[in-house]
Homo-oligomer: A and B are copies of this chain.
Protein backbone atom coordinates (compact mmCIF):
# COMPACT_ATOMS: atom_id res chain seq x y z
CA UNK A 1 0.00 0.00 0.00
CA UNK A 2 1.41 3.34 -1.00
CA UNK A 3 1.03 5.75 1.89
CA UNK A 4 0.64 9.49 2.17
CA UNK A 5 3.23 11.95 3.32
CA UNK A 6 2.35 13.03 6.84
CA UNK A 7 3.39 9.80 8.50
CA UNK A 8 5.44 9.84 11.68
CA UNK A 9 8.45 9.06 9.51
CA UNK A 10 8.17 12.34 7.66
CA UNK A 11 9.93 14.36 10.35
CA UNK A 12 12.77 11.92 9.99
CA UNK A 13 12.52 12.01 6.23
CA UNK A 14 12.82 15.79 6.28
CA UNK A 15 15.77 15.47 8.63
CA UNK A 16 17.45 13.18 6.13
CA UNK A 17 16.72 15.61 3.31
CA UNK A 18 18.15 18.56 5.23
CA UNK A 19 21.21 16.68 6.40
CA UNK A 20 21.75 15.50 2.85
CA UNK A 21 21.73 19.07 1.53
CA UNK A 22 24.13 20.22 4.26
CA UNK A 23 26.36 17.21 3.65
CA UNK A 24 26.59 17.84 -0.09
CA UNK A 25 27.10 21.59 0.15
CA UNK A 26 30.72 22.71 -0.20
CA UNK A 27 29.91 25.77 1.94
CA UNK A 28 28.00 26.44 5.13
CA UNK A 29 24.31 27.24 4.62
CA UNK A 30 21.85 29.45 6.44
CA UNK A 31 18.39 28.25 7.45
CA UNK A 32 16.93 30.49 4.72
CA UNK A 33 19.12 28.83 2.11
CA UNK A 34 18.10 25.41 3.42
CA UNK A 35 14.45 26.34 3.03
CA UNK A 36 15.11 27.42 -0.55
CA UNK A 37 17.07 24.33 -1.45
CA UNK A 38 14.74 21.78 0.13
CA UNK A 39 11.37 23.43 -0.39
CA UNK A 40 10.62 22.77 3.28
CA UNK A 41 8.81 25.28 5.50
CA UNK A 42 10.92 27.59 7.72
CA UNK A 43 9.35 26.05 10.84
CA UNK A 44 10.35 22.57 9.71
CA UNK A 45 13.88 23.79 8.98
CA UNK A 46 14.07 25.38 12.40
CA UNK A 47 12.91 22.25 14.25
CA UNK A 48 15.09 19.87 12.32
CA UNK A 49 18.29 21.95 12.50
CA UNK A 50 17.78 22.30 16.27
CA UNK A 51 17.65 18.50 16.53
CA UNK A 52 20.72 18.10 14.32
CA UNK A 53 22.66 20.64 16.42
CA UNK A 54 21.64 18.86 19.63
CA UNK A 55 22.87 15.56 18.20
CA UNK A 56 26.16 17.13 17.18
CA UNK A 57 25.68 16.19 13.53
CA UNK A 58 25.94 19.83 12.41
CA UNK A 59 27.60 22.89 13.89
CA UNK A 60 27.21 26.63 13.67
CA UNK A 61 29.87 28.17 11.47
CA UNK A 62 29.63 31.87 12.23
CA UNK A 63 27.10 34.44 11.08
CA UNK A 64 26.50 35.92 7.70
CA UNK A 65 25.53 39.60 7.61
CA UNK A 66 23.82 40.79 4.50
CA UNK A 67 22.66 44.42 4.25
CA UNK A 68 20.53 45.56 7.18
CA UNK A 69 18.79 42.21 7.75
CA UNK A 70 19.20 40.06 10.81
CA UNK A 71 22.51 38.16 10.64
CA UNK A 72 22.03 34.61 9.45
CA UNK A 73 23.59 31.75 11.40
CA UNK A 74 25.50 29.53 9.03
CA UNK A 75 25.29 25.76 9.48
CA UNK A 76 27.65 23.07 8.34
CA UNK A 77 28.18 19.37 8.75
CA UNK A 78 30.26 18.17 11.69
CA UNK A 79 32.10 15.51 9.72
CA UNK A 80 34.03 14.20 12.72
CA UNK A 81 30.89 13.63 14.76
CA UNK A 82 30.25 10.11 13.43
CA UNK A 83 32.15 7.47 11.46
CA UNK A 84 31.34 4.29 9.59
CA UNK A 85 33.50 1.33 8.65
CA UNK A 86 33.33 -0.49 5.35
CA UNK A 87 34.72 -3.89 4.47
CA UNK A 88 34.82 -5.35 1.00
CA UNK A 89 35.33 -9.07 0.83
CA UNK A 90 36.56 -9.94 -2.65
CA UNK A 91 38.01 -13.37 -3.41
CA UNK A 92 41.36 -11.72 -4.20
CA UNK A 93 41.58 -8.89 -1.68
CA UNK A 94 39.84 -7.57 1.42
CA UNK A 95 39.56 -3.80 1.53
CA UNK A 96 38.79 -1.68 4.59
CA UNK A 97 37.76 1.96 4.84
CA UNK A 98 36.86 4.40 7.61
CA UNK A 99 34.50 7.15 6.50
CA UNK A 100 33.54 10.30 8.32
CA UNK A 101 30.01 11.64 8.25
CA UNK A 102 30.68 13.48 5.01
CA UNK A 103 31.61 10.18 3.42
CA UNK A 104 35.28 11.07 3.16
CA UNK A 105 37.72 8.21 3.58
CA UNK A 106 39.83 9.07 6.60
CA UNK A 107 41.73 5.80 6.63
CA UNK A 108 41.91 2.65 4.54
CA UNK A 109 43.78 -0.60 4.25
CA UNK A 110 43.75 -3.78 2.24
CA UNK A 111 45.08 -7.30 2.49
CA UNK A 112 45.16 -10.35 0.23
CA UNK A 113 42.28 -12.68 0.91
CA UNK A 114 43.87 -15.78 2.49
CA UNK A 115 43.92 -18.54 -0.11
CA UNK A 116 41.49 -21.32 0.69
CA UNK A 117 41.05 -19.85 4.16
CA UNK A 118 38.16 -21.18 6.20
CA UNK A 119 35.36 -18.65 6.62
CA UNK A 120 35.72 -18.53 10.41
CA UNK A 121 39.45 -17.86 10.11
CA UNK A 122 38.86 -15.13 7.57
CA UNK A 123 36.17 -13.57 9.75
CA UNK A 124 38.53 -13.59 12.74
CA UNK A 125 41.23 -11.91 10.68
CA UNK A 126 38.70 -9.33 9.44
CA UNK A 127 37.75 -8.52 13.03
CA UNK A 128 41.43 -8.15 13.98
CA UNK A 129 42.08 -5.96 10.94
CA UNK A 130 39.10 -3.76 11.87
CA UNK A 131 40.48 -3.29 15.38
CA UNK A 132 43.83 -2.28 13.92
CA UNK A 133 42.10 0.02 11.47
CA UNK A 134 40.19 1.81 14.22
CA UNK A 135 43.36 2.18 16.23
CA UNK A 136 45.41 3.42 13.28
CA UNK A 137 42.71 5.92 12.24
CA UNK A 138 42.63 7.45 15.71
CA UNK A 139 38.82 7.49 15.64
CA UNK A 140 36.94 7.25 18.93
CA UNK A 141 35.16 3.87 18.92
CA UNK A 142 32.09 5.49 20.51
CA UNK A 143 31.62 7.55 17.38
CA UNK A 144 31.48 4.54 15.05
CA UNK A 145 27.97 3.94 13.80
CA UNK A 146 28.64 0.48 12.47
CA UNK A 147 30.26 -1.73 9.87
CA UNK A 148 29.05 -2.31 6.34
CA UNK A 149 30.20 -5.43 4.52
CA UNK A 150 30.21 -5.71 0.74
CA UNK A 151 30.27 -9.37 -0.26
CA UNK A 152 30.06 -11.31 -3.50
CA UNK A 153 26.60 -12.60 -4.35
CA UNK A 154 24.45 -14.46 -4.01
CA UNK A 155 23.73 -13.17 -0.52
CA UNK A 156 20.74 -13.25 1.79
CA UNK A 157 20.61 -9.56 2.62
CA UNK A 158 17.81 -9.83 5.14
CA UNK A 159 19.58 -12.47 7.21
CA UNK A 160 23.12 -11.22 6.53
CA UNK A 161 24.28 -14.50 5.01
CA UNK A 162 26.79 -15.13 2.22
CA UNK A 163 25.17 -17.99 0.28
CA UNK A 164 27.48 -19.67 -2.23
CA UNK A 165 29.53 -17.19 -4.26
CA UNK A 166 31.21 -19.01 -7.15
CA UNK A 167 34.69 -17.59 -6.52
CA UNK A 168 34.86 -17.89 -2.73
CA UNK A 169 35.90 -21.44 -2.11
CA UNK A 170 34.42 -23.07 0.98
CA UNK A 171 31.90 -20.30 1.62
CA UNK A 172 28.39 -21.65 1.81
CA UNK A 173 25.61 -20.17 3.94
CA UNK A 174 28.05 -18.21 6.09
CA UNK A 175 26.32 -15.86 8.58
CA UNK A 176 28.96 -13.19 8.00
CA UNK A 177 26.93 -10.28 9.39
CA UNK A 178 26.17 -11.90 12.75
CA UNK A 179 29.66 -13.38 13.07
CA UNK A 180 31.29 -9.99 12.56
CA UNK A 181 28.85 -8.39 15.00
CA UNK A 182 29.80 -10.97 17.64
CA UNK A 183 33.51 -10.46 16.95
CA UNK A 184 33.42 -6.64 17.07
CA UNK A 185 30.38 -5.64 19.11
CA UNK A 186 29.56 -3.06 16.44
CA UNK A 187 26.32 -2.93 14.42
CA UNK A 188 26.85 -4.66 11.07
CA UNK A 189 25.01 -4.85 7.77
CA UNK A 190 25.66 -6.85 4.64
CA UNK A 191 25.16 -5.81 1.03
CA UNK A 192 26.05 -7.32 -2.31
CA UNK A 193 29.35 -5.92 -3.64
CA UNK A 194 28.09 -4.29 -6.84
CA UNK A 195 25.16 -2.73 -5.00
CA UNK A 196 27.58 -1.27 -2.46
CA UNK A 197 29.71 0.13 -5.29
CA UNK A 198 26.67 1.80 -6.84
CA UNK A 199 25.77 3.27 -3.46
CA UNK A 200 29.24 4.79 -3.17
CA UNK A 201 28.82 6.49 -6.54
CA UNK A 202 25.40 7.83 -5.52
CA UNK A 203 26.72 9.16 -2.21
CA UNK A 204 30.03 10.59 -3.23
CA UNK A 205 29.67 11.89 -6.72
CA UNK A 206 29.36 15.41 -5.35
CA UNK A 207 27.50 18.30 -6.95
CA UNK A 208 27.41 16.78 -10.43
CA UNK A 209 25.71 13.77 -8.97
CA UNK A 210 24.97 10.65 -10.88
CA UNK A 211 21.50 9.25 -10.34
CA UNK A 212 20.95 6.83 -13.23
CA UNK A 213 23.79 4.56 -14.20
CA UNK A 214 25.09 1.05 -14.47
CA UNK A 215 28.14 0.27 -12.38
CA UNK A 216 30.28 -2.28 -14.20
CA UNK A 217 32.34 -4.19 -11.70
CA UNK A 218 35.44 -6.07 -12.84
CA UNK A 219 36.50 -8.23 -9.94
CA UNK A 220 37.25 -11.90 -9.75
CA UNK A 221 33.74 -12.15 -11.17
CA UNK A 222 31.69 -9.62 -13.09
CA UNK A 223 28.78 -7.59 -11.81
CA UNK A 224 26.56 -4.81 -13.12
CA UNK A 225 25.08 -2.73 -10.30
CA UNK A 226 22.27 -0.36 -11.18
CA UNK A 227 21.14 2.99 -9.88
CA UNK A 228 17.83 4.19 -11.24
CA UNK A 229 16.40 7.57 -10.38
CA UNK A 230 18.79 8.07 -7.49
CA UNK A 231 18.14 4.69 -5.84
CA UNK A 232 20.11 1.50 -6.12
CA UNK A 233 18.24 -1.46 -7.54
CA UNK A 234 18.38 -4.34 -5.07
CA UNK A 235 15.79 -6.59 -6.68
CA UNK A 236 13.45 -8.99 -4.95
CA UNK A 237 16.09 -10.60 -2.71
CA UNK A 238 18.95 -8.09 -2.76
CA UNK A 239 20.80 -9.94 -5.50
CA UNK A 240 20.33 -7.62 -8.47
CA UNK A 241 23.50 -6.83 -10.38
CA UNK A 242 24.47 -10.26 -11.63
CA UNK A 243 25.93 -9.33 -14.99
CA UNK A 244 27.99 -12.44 -15.47
CA UNK A 245 25.21 -14.51 -17.00
CA UNK A 246 24.60 -12.19 -19.91
CA UNK A 247 25.23 -14.14 -23.09
CA UNK A 248 27.89 -12.76 -25.41
CA UNK A 249 28.77 -13.85 -28.91
CA UNK A 250 32.08 -15.67 -29.26
CA UNK A 251 34.26 -15.96 -32.27
CA UNK A 252 35.74 -19.44 -32.35
CA UNK A 253 37.14 -19.12 -28.87
CA UNK A 254 35.39 -21.77 -26.90
CA UNK A 255 35.34 -25.39 -28.03
CA UNK A 256 32.04 -26.42 -29.44
CA UNK A 257 30.20 -23.45 -28.07
CA UNK A 258 28.79 -20.66 -30.16
CA UNK A 259 28.16 -18.25 -27.34
CA UNK A 260 29.12 -18.06 -23.76
CA UNK A 261 28.62 -16.03 -20.64
CA UNK A 262 30.26 -12.69 -20.01
CA UNK A 263 31.10 -13.84 -16.48
CA UNK A 264 33.28 -16.53 -17.97
CA UNK A 265 34.90 -14.86 -20.97
CA UNK A 266 35.66 -11.40 -19.57
CA UNK A 267 37.11 -12.35 -16.20
CA UNK A 268 40.78 -11.79 -15.39
CA UNK A 269 41.15 -15.52 -14.81
CA UNK A 270 39.91 -16.36 -18.31
CA UNK A 271 42.11 -13.67 -19.86
CA UNK A 272 45.10 -15.38 -18.24
CA UNK A 273 43.98 -18.77 -19.55
CA UNK A 274 43.86 -17.27 -23.02
CA UNK A 275 47.27 -15.70 -22.50
CA UNK A 276 48.66 -19.13 -21.68
CA UNK A 277 46.88 -20.82 -24.62
CA UNK A 278 48.13 -18.18 -27.02
CA UNK A 279 51.69 -18.19 -25.75
CA UNK A 280 51.55 -14.66 -24.36
CA UNK A 281 52.15 -15.69 -20.76
CA UNK A 282 53.07 -19.10 -19.37
CA UNK A 283 51.71 -20.77 -17.43
CA UNK A 284 48.16 -19.80 -16.41
CA UNK A 285 47.81 -19.67 -12.63
CA UNK A 286 45.62 -22.27 -10.94
CA UNK A 287 41.97 -21.23 -11.10
CA UNK A 288 41.62 -20.90 -7.33
CA UNK A 289 44.85 -19.02 -6.69
CA UNK A 290 43.62 -15.45 -6.45
CA UNK A 291 47.00 -14.01 -5.58
CA UNK A 292 48.59 -15.61 -8.64
CA UNK A 293 45.70 -14.33 -10.78
CA UNK A 294 46.18 -10.84 -9.43
CA UNK A 295 49.91 -10.96 -10.17
CA UNK A 296 49.36 -12.58 -13.55
CA UNK A 297 46.91 -9.86 -14.50
CA UNK A 298 49.49 -7.24 -13.52
CA UNK A 299 51.93 -8.94 -15.88
CA UNK A 300 49.40 -9.14 -18.72
CA UNK A 301 48.64 -5.42 -18.40
CA UNK A 302 52.37 -4.61 -18.24
CA UNK A 303 52.94 -6.53 -21.48
CA UNK A 304 50.04 -4.72 -23.15
CA UNK A 305 51.40 -1.37 -22.04
CA UNK A 306 54.75 -2.34 -23.57
CA UNK A 307 52.96 -2.93 -26.86
CA UNK A 308 52.83 -6.74 -26.87
CA UNK A 309 50.37 -7.63 -29.65
CA UNK A 310 49.16 -10.82 -27.98
CA UNK A 311 48.43 -9.12 -24.67
CA UNK A 312 46.65 -6.27 -26.43
CA UNK A 313 44.55 -8.74 -28.41
CA UNK A 314 43.42 -10.50 -25.23
CA UNK A 315 42.51 -7.28 -23.44
CA UNK A 316 40.72 -5.86 -26.49
CA UNK A 317 38.74 -9.06 -26.89
CA UNK A 318 37.55 -8.83 -23.28
CA UNK A 319 36.67 -5.16 -23.81
CA UNK A 320 34.62 -6.02 -26.88
CA UNK A 321 32.67 -8.69 -25.00
CA UNK A 322 31.97 -6.23 -22.21
CA UNK A 323 30.81 -3.70 -24.81
CA UNK A 324 28.52 -6.28 -26.41
CA UNK A 325 26.86 -7.02 -23.08
CA UNK A 326 26.56 -3.33 -22.28
CA UNK A 327 24.75 -2.68 -25.58
CA UNK A 328 22.07 -5.15 -24.42
CA UNK A 329 21.86 -3.50 -21.01
CA UNK A 330 21.79 0.04 -22.42
CA UNK A 331 18.96 -0.99 -24.73
CA UNK A 332 17.00 -2.83 -22.06
CA UNK A 333 17.20 -0.09 -19.44
CA UNK A 334 17.77 2.98 -21.65
CA UNK A 335 20.79 3.92 -19.57
CA UNK A 336 23.02 6.81 -20.61
CA UNK A 337 25.88 6.37 -18.17
CA UNK A 338 28.17 3.52 -17.21
CA UNK A 339 30.71 3.81 -14.39
CA UNK A 340 33.44 1.20 -14.19
CA UNK A 341 35.35 -0.07 -11.18
CA UNK A 342 36.31 -3.06 -9.09
CA UNK A 343 39.64 -4.50 -8.02
CA UNK A 344 40.87 -5.33 -11.55
CA UNK A 345 39.49 -2.26 -13.32
CA UNK A 346 41.98 0.51 -12.56
CA UNK A 347 44.80 -1.26 -14.42
CA UNK A 348 42.91 -1.44 -17.72
CA UNK A 349 40.65 1.59 -17.36
CA UNK A 350 41.98 3.90 -20.06
CA UNK A 351 42.24 1.27 -22.79
CA UNK A 352 38.96 -0.46 -21.94
CA UNK A 353 36.98 2.79 -21.84
CA UNK A 354 38.37 3.76 -25.23
CA UNK A 355 37.51 0.39 -26.79
CA UNK A 356 34.12 -0.05 -25.14
CA UNK A 357 33.07 3.48 -26.01
CA UNK A 358 33.99 2.98 -29.67
CA UNK A 359 31.98 -0.25 -29.89
CA UNK A 360 28.90 1.04 -28.07
CA UNK A 361 28.82 4.18 -30.21
CA UNK A 362 28.94 2.25 -33.46
CA UNK A 363 26.99 -0.88 -32.61
CA UNK A 364 24.31 -1.67 -35.20
CA UNK A 365 22.28 -3.12 -32.33
CA UNK A 366 21.91 0.18 -30.44
CA UNK A 367 18.26 1.23 -30.47
CA UNK A 368 18.56 4.81 -29.26
CA UNK A 369 21.33 7.05 -30.50
CA UNK A 370 21.88 9.24 -27.46
CA UNK A 371 25.44 9.21 -26.15
CA UNK A 372 26.41 6.83 -23.36
CA UNK A 373 28.92 8.41 -20.99
CA UNK A 374 31.61 6.03 -19.75
CA UNK A 375 33.92 6.77 -16.85
CA UNK A 376 36.10 5.03 -14.34
CA UNK A 377 34.97 5.29 -10.73
CA UNK A 378 36.48 8.36 -9.10
CA UNK A 379 36.48 6.43 -5.84
CA UNK A 380 38.90 3.80 -7.07
CA UNK A 381 39.63 0.36 -5.68
CA UNK A 382 37.96 1.12 -2.36
CA UNK A 383 34.59 1.69 -4.03
CA UNK A 384 32.67 -1.28 -2.64
CA UNK A 385 34.11 -0.85 0.88
CA UNK A 386 33.27 2.85 0.75
CA UNK A 387 29.74 2.05 -0.46
CA UNK A 388 29.20 -0.43 2.36
CA UNK A 389 30.24 2.28 4.84
CA UNK A 390 27.94 4.80 3.12
CA UNK A 391 25.12 2.36 3.64
CA UNK A 392 25.82 2.40 7.38
CA UNK A 393 25.66 6.20 7.33
CA UNK A 394 22.39 5.95 5.40
CA UNK A 395 20.85 3.48 7.80
CA UNK A 396 22.00 5.21 10.92
CA UNK A 397 20.91 8.67 9.81
CA UNK A 398 17.66 7.67 8.19
CA UNK A 399 14.63 6.99 10.36
CA UNK A 400 13.46 4.07 8.26
CA UNK A 401 13.26 0.96 10.36
CA UNK A 402 15.83 -1.44 9.07
CA UNK A 403 16.08 -5.12 9.72
CA UNK A 404 19.37 -5.12 7.87
CA UNK A 405 21.55 -3.50 10.48
CA UNK A 406 22.08 -5.94 13.30
CA UNK A 407 22.67 -4.10 16.54
CA UNK A 408 22.33 -6.87 19.09
Chain A: residues with CB nearer than 8 A to chain B?
1-7, 10, 13-14, 17-18, 20-21, 37-41, 44, 153-154, 212, 224, 226, 228, 230, 233-252, 257-259, 261, 324-325, 327-329, 331-336, 365, 367-368, 370
Sample of 16 A–B contacts (CB below 8 Å): A1-B21, A3-B38, A4-B13, A4-B17, A4-B40, A6-B41, A224-B332, A235-B334, A236-B336, A238-B334, A239-B367, A245-B328, A246-B247, A247-B247, A248-B259, A249-B257
Provide the main secondary structure of the chain A interface: loop
Whether A234 contacts B334 by the Cβ 8 Å rule is: yes
Q: Given the complex, which residues of B lie within 8 Å of A240, measured CB to CB?
A: 332-334
- Among A1, A226, A238, the one with the most B-chain Cβ atoms within 10 Å of its Cβ is A1
Contacts A327-B245, A329-B332 given; does A4 touch B258 at CB 8 Å: no
Q: Give A18 to B1 CA distance when docked, in angstroms.
A: 11
Known: A14-B4, A17-B3, A233-B228. A368 touches B247 (CB 8 A): no
- Please indicate the chain B residues that have their CB under 8 angstroms from the CB of A370 in the complex: 236-237
A249 pairs with B246, CB closer than 8 A: no
Interface pair B153/A246, CB less than 8 Å apart:
no
User: B3, B39, B41: which contacts A3 (Cβ < 8 A)?
Assistant: B39
Please determine whether A368 and B154 come into contact, CB atoms closer than 8 angstroms.
yes
Least Cβ–Cβ distance between A404 and chain B, in angstroms: 16
Q: Is the CB of A261 within 8 A of B332?
A: no
From B7, B153, B235, give the contact of A333 (CB < 8 A).
B235
> Complex Cα distance A7/B334, Å?
30
Most B CB within 10 A of own CB, among A10, A247, A370: A247
The 3 closest A-B pairs by CB, nearest first: A235-B334, A258-B258, A259-B259
**Are B368 and A334 neighbours in the complex by a CB distance under 8 Å?**
no
- CB-CB < 8 A to A333: which residues of B? 226, 233, 235, 240
Q: In the bound complex, how far is the Cα of B264 from the Cα of A249, in angstroms? A: 15
The interface residues of chain B lying within 8 Å CB-to-CB of A154 are: 367-368
A234 → chain B, closest Cβ, in Å?
A: 7
- Distance in Å: Cβ of A398 to nearest Cβ of chain B: 12
Q: Which residues of B contact A17 (CB under 8 A)?
A: 2-5
CB A400 to nearest CB in B, in angstroms, measures 14
Rounded to whole angstroms, the CA-CA distance of A15 and B386 in the bound complex is 40
What residues on B are CB-neighbors of A235 within 8 Å? 212, 333-335
Residues of B within 8 A of A40 (CB): 4-6
* A329 proximity list for chain B (CB < 8 A): 332
Q: Is the CB of A245 within 8 A of B6?
A: no
Shortest distance between the CB of A244 and any CB in chain B (Å) = 8
CA separation between A276 and B250, bound complex, in Å? 28
A250 and B258 CA atoms in complex are apart in Å by 7
Bound-state CA distance A47–B153 (Å) is 49
Query: In the complex the two chains form, is A250's CB within 8 Å of B259's CB?
Result: yes
The residue on B at minimum CB distance from A212 is B236
User: B5 and A10: CB pair below 8 A?
Assistant: yes
- What is the chain B residue whose CB lies nearest that of A260? B249
How distant is A219 from chain B, measured CB to nearest CB, in Å? 15
A5 to B1, Cβ gap below 8 A? no
With contact pairs A247-B248, A249-B247, A370-B237 given, residues A242 and B332 touching in the complex (Cβ less than 8 Å): yes
Residues of B within 8 Å of A236, CB to CB, are 212, 334-336, 370
State in angstroms the CA–CA spacing of A241 and B367 once bound together: 11
Cβ contacts under 8 Å, A18 to chain B: 4
Query: Which B residues lie within 8 Å of A243 (CB)?
Result: 332
- The one of B38, B39, B367 in contact with A153, judged by C-beta atoms closer than 8 angstroms, is B367
Which chain B residues border A248 with CB–CB below 8 Å? 247, 259
CB-CB < 8 A to A3: which residues of B?
Answer: 17, 38-39
